[in-house]
Amino acid sequence: MFNLCLVSLSLTSVTVFEYANGPAGSSLFELNFPWCITIDSDKSMLITDMNSIRVLRVYPNQTSGVVVASSGTWLQPRRAVYDKNLVDLFVIDGHFCLMTQYHNGSLTPSTLFGSTCGASTTQFESAASFCMDLSDNFYIVDNFNHRIMPWNATSVVGILLAGETGVSGNDSLHLFNPQDITLDEDNGFYYVTDTFNHRILRYLLGSAVSTVVTDGNGAGIGANQLNEPCGIYLSKNTSTFYIADAANNRIVRWCLGQSAGMTIAGDCNGMADTASSLLNAPLTLTMDSSE
């Protein structure tokens, strides 16, 4: 085991929204347990402000957000994504296990699929995250059921793609509480953070058999290890992953094919704090179009 800390980017952050180390709140310039952030093509941020039961859209250089979705049919917004035309907003709820759609700026949602939490092909349980492909199909990370479920927007029935429903494991056919997914449609792959197995897995699109791409060296703080990785971002320009290594309180950059990653944000030794150079259990991450 080795603990190599190589840095090529600044390890100091800048707060772009909310008070620096400020209190939780529900006004338009405050957050209360922000769960996930995405950045759209116009560089606005979508923030699932979970304990305030809303989704905020924050435009560049603004100090307050706009509510684009709020409590109506859900209680725990986990992830919010606009379609490629920035017309329809999709929000997944981890409490009632629903996928909802907000059409063209409407604040009234419609339910696309899901109704009650469960393990059938019409249900999911918790749902840590999701992504969409170029055909607007959904890929649900059904973490409590240890599986990945694709869903067509016109169907109420999902398909078991990866993992085994309700069964955790650490072989090439199983997952253990997966938390995030990203697609590489150009090369025909998808990648999953297999969180409690402390590894990143790669699958051929349509396949249920995985390959470990981050070595799978067990939980640890070493440069060749992860500890409960949650969020993942795949660079569109290079074969590089950016991983929210939650239990290590850091962001890791890992080049595909390499045996170790590089800490680019947070502490190399896993220290958590509110200082601008440190993180505390980062769950998700994203980049704008310029990466």
List Cβ neighbours of 80 (8 Å cut-off, separation of 6 or more): 36, 38, 46, 47, 48, 55, 68, 69, 89, 90, 91, 92
The pLDDT score that the predictor gives to residue 2 is 33
The pLDDT score that the predictor gives to residue 222 is 95
Q: CA 67, CA 175: separation in Å to the nearest integer? A: 35
Q: Which stretches within the chain are classed as H helix?
A: none
- B/e letters for 7-27, b = 16+ CB within 10 Å, e = fewer, are eeeebeeeeebbeeeeeeeee
Cβ neighbours, 10 Å, residue 183: 18
Residue found under tokens 């704008």:
288
The pLDDT score that the predictor gives to residue 115 is 80
- Ordered by where they begin, the domains of the chain are 1-31+216-290 (2.40.10)
Amino acid at 40: D
The pLDDT score that the predictor gives to residue 153 is 80
The pLDDT score that the predictor gives to residue 8 is 46
Q: Look at residue 212 and give its three-state secondary structure.
A: strand
List Cβ neighbours of 106 (8 Å cut-off, separation of 6 or more): none
Q: Order of strands, edge to edge, in the sheet holding 45-49?
A: 34-39, 45-49, 54-58, 66-70
Residue found under tokens 């607007």:
136
Please give the full DSSP string across 14-48, using - where no structure is assigned: ---SS-TT-----STT--SSEEEEEE-TT--EEEE
The pLDDT score that the predictor gives to residue 20 is 54
Q: Which residues pair with 8 in a beta bridge?
A: none
Among 196, 175, 180, residue whose Cα is nearest residue 241: 180
Average pLDDT per consecutive 10 residues, the chain (291 residues; last block may be shorter): 40 59 81 91 91 94 92 87 92 93 93 92 92 94 97 91 98 98 95 98 96 90 96 90 96 93 93 88 88 71
The pLDDT score that the predictor gives to residue 4 is 37
The pLDDT score that the predictor gives to residue 41 is 84
Q: CA 291, CA 288: separation in Å to the nearest integer? A: 5
pTM of the model as a whole: 0.90
Q: Which two tokens stand for residue 246?
A: 């939650």
The pLDDT score that the predictor gives to residue 14 is 63
Q: CA 139, CA 149: separation in Å to the nearest integer? A: 6
